[in-house]
A = this chain, B = another copy of it.
């Protein structure tokens, strides 16, 4: 999907959820889209400052939080970063693989393994909520 189409669909997606993809939020999403993999909040902030002149942390954090809440981004806790979700329109439990060396990201279907995790947790009385799984490691091209 090309960038323009993605942004357009993202806007529709937000509307369906009853939220607005404002100019600022759209700009932030566009900046994140400019990276192949994981982006950090302060990186986006720096980019935003180049385009707008001024911007403070809360500006970018609020936009990023909005995008995460609306399913357009995933937060990668282990790396203090964010990645674009390529298929925000279909509800999914993705397996997100993040390369620790190049920052590249791959999403796999993890239905089977997730079910196994859910079963193991249920046996301990714990109800696992729907969520994405983020694993770090090394991608194919970074394996020496």
Chain A positions within 8 Å of B, measured between CB atoms, are 77-78, 95, 97, 99-100, 106, 108, 110, 112-113, 116-117, 120-121, 124-129, 131, 133-140, 143
Q: Which residues of B contact A121 (CB under 8 A)?
A: 95, 97, 108, 135, 137
B77, B106, B112: the one within 8 Å of A124 (CB): B106
A137 to B119, CA, bound (A): 13
- Inter-chain contact B129/A137, CB cutoff 8 Å: yes
Q: Within the complex, what minimum Cβ distance (angstroms) separates A112 from chain B? A: 7
Residues of B within 8 A of A136 (CB): 128-129, 131
User: Which residues of B lie under 8 Å from residue A134 when comparing CB positions?
Assistant: 77
